Amino acid sequence: MQQPHETGEAFPIRDWLIIVIVAALIVCWGLLNFALVRDPPRTWHFGALPDAPSESVYSTEKAPQSAAPPRQTPMLPEAQPKKPTGGAP
């Protein structure tokens, strides 16, 4: 069997062509998915959830009644309020 350096052709153009075609197919598949699959609008808004131990339903003492706690993070500009479904929260 002849070695590549003996035939004078170390890297056949056909092998590189196959590699370039496979790479181009992968890139085209990714671009097609990027173009066709869109991000849905963000619709979550759960508000501030109580996590203090005295606010638990299993607590032995009543939680103090106070104003709503301040938001820890600002709302996203494109966020929309969640639509009520009538089921369990």
Query: 47-56 burial, b for 16+ CB within 10 Å, e for fewer?
Result: eeeeeeeeee
Contact 48, 69 (CB under 8 A): yes
pLDDT of residue 9: 59
Per-domain residue ranges of the chain: 11-35
Q: What digits encode the pLDDT tens for the residues 51-75?
A: 666 666 666 666 667 777 777 777 7
Listed residue (23, 73, 29, 28) closest to 47, CA to CA: 73
Whole-model pTM: value is: 0.38
Q: What digits encode the pLDDT tens for the residues 10-25?
A: 668 888 999 999 999 9
* Rounded CA separation 81/71 (Å): 15
Contact 28, 39 (CB under 8 A): no
pLDDT of residue 42: 76
